[in-house]
Amino acid sequence: MNESATASTAPATARFRQRIFSGIQPSGGLTLGNYLGALKRFVEKQDEGIETVYCLVDLHAITVWQDPEKLRHATREAAAGFIASGIDPARSILFNQSQVAAHAELAWIFNCVARMGWLRRMTQFKDKAGKNAEEASVGLFAYPNLMAADILAYHATHVPVGEDQKQHLELTRDIAIKFNNDFGVDFFPVVEPVIEGAATRVMSLRDGTRKMSKSDPSDMSRINLTDDADAIAQKFRKARTDPEPLPETVEGLDGRPEARNLVNIYAALADRTPAAVIAEFGGKGFGVFKPALADLAVEKLRPISAEMTRLMADVAEIDRILGAGAERADAIARPILADCLDIVGMVRSRPAHG
């Protein structure tokens, strides 16, 4: 195999039918970052009438230790979060990754396509493994190959994600190009990242230079979709900011990461631009802006958390939805995996094995 992914003839996605794939790890409760950076836009794509495949990536979640009972709960709760946010399981395919074996099988092929050097450059591994890289799981290192498999098992053409996933999507493109080159085929699409909106990177409420994350040890750093109105108000009230009032222009947010974060969150929740938010609140202090932001967040999130609570009262129904979604997902992914195995040169003679 060649070492490089560079291709003079990168196939466009044009010949592939437009299909959206994206996923979220059930590695804890969903956050406002997941909602604004991913979920809200998943719903928009579904409502545009594009074919949408959405996955709770439980195999990704176990790249760091997960308590099995908590993982099961988080998977179901995340499914409830998707549905409560507007994902309609009749229109979108919604399922959990481990129920469709093609993801793990294709990931193995990609482990043999991707190069060590590519994965060593992944900043998320460096961030998550920290100083203890020797103790990190092999899965955490190979995570981007599984992510490439998630996407390419569906021949997905577009992947809505937050800014933090951009590098992984570039790796997915490299894998597709190298596979196509190595085997002389035009088989995998070269996916397009879809990174849109005012909140592609929602930052921690305690540190405006760090991403809001469901696994941050401080619960005060994030808004959870299940937080009640009091918790949301308290977290915004205590959010770290500087002492200056909001600037009169968006440029005035330069060098003020916490202020910029809160303005971006407001804009994304209100479906407005940051400039429009600054036009309304410029010159006002955080004593005015934070309560307005908290009220807006409560207004937008309360219906979602109420619906999540309602859905979680019937776990069997959630499991039924995930199982039915997995059947539909499998029907797309299995023939693509079979073709991929043929291309690679695997003998497949089991009649029932697709």
Catalytic residue among 128, 178, 235, 290: 128
Closer to ligand AQP at the Cβ: 11 or 197? Answer: 197
Closer to ligand AQP at the Cβ: 161 or 253? Answer: 161
What tokens appear for 219 in the block? 């619960």
Does the CA dihedral 104-45-30-246 come out positive or negative?
A: positive
Backbone angles phi, psi at 148, to 5 degrees: -60, -40
Alpha-carbon distances of 243 from 67, 240, 253, 258, rounded to whole Å: 41, 10, 13, 11
Interaction between residue 146 and ligand AQP (CB under 6 A): no
What tokens appear for 177 in the block? 């190009």
Minimum distance of ligand AQP from residue 24's CB (angstroms): 4
Sort residue 65 into left (φ over 0), alpha (ψ -120 to 50) or beta: beta
H helical segments located in 54-137: 58-61, 68-85, 102-111, 116-120, 123-129
Interaction between residue 211 and ligand AQP (CB under 6 A): yes
Alpha-carbon distances of 72 from 25, 29, 78, 159, 352, rounded to whole Å: 12, 12, 10, 25, 30
Interaction between residue 74 and ligand AQP (CB under 6 A): no
Per-residue x/- track, 176-205, ligand AQP (CB under 6 A): ------------------------xxx---
Closer to ligand AQP at the Cβ: 81 or 162? Answer: 162
Q: Are strands 158-160 and 93-96 parallel, antiparallel or unpaired?
A: unpaired
**Of the candidate residues 76, 178, 214, 260, the single one contacting ligand AQP (CB under 6 A):** 214
Minimum distance of ligand AQP from residue 58's CB (angstroms): 11
**Of the candidate residues 75, 92, 165, 172, the single one contacting ligand AQP (CB under 6 A):** 165
Sort residue 283 into left (φ over 0), alpha (ψ -120 to 50) or beta: left
Interaction residues for ligand AQP, span 15-44 (CB under 6 A): 24-25, 27-28, 31, 33-34, 37-38
Instruction: Dump the DSSP string for 10-24.
Output: PPPSTTSPPEEEEEE
Task: Please name the residues in contact with 278: beta carbons below 8 A apart, sequence gap of 6 or more.
Answer: 246, 247, 248, 249, 250, 252, 253, 263
Task: Please name the residues in contact with 245: beta carbons below 8 A apart, sequence gap of 6 or more.
Answer: 283, 284, 285, 286
Which residue, among 126, 182, 132, 190, has the nearest Cα to 158 in the 3D structure?
190
70 is catalytic: no
Interaction between residue 161 and ligand AQP (CB under 6 A): yes
Catalytic residue among 40, 45, 178, 214: 214
Closer to ligand AQP at the Cβ: 13 or 213? Answer: 213
Among 104-112, 160-168, 183-191, 238-246, which window interacts with ligand AQP (CB under 6 A)?
160-168
Chain residue whose CB lies nearest ligand AQP: 37
300 is catalytic: no
What tokens appear for 176 in the block? 């597709």
Catalytic residue among 40, 178, 211, 235: 211
Minimum distance of ligand AQP from residue 185's CB (angstroms): 29
Interaction between residue 261 and ligand AQP (CB under 6 A): no
Binding stretches for ligand AQP (CB under 6 A):
24-25, 27-28, 31, 33-34, 37-38, 161-162, 164-165, 200-202, 211-215
Q: Looking at the annotation, which residues are catalytic?
A: 128, 211, 214
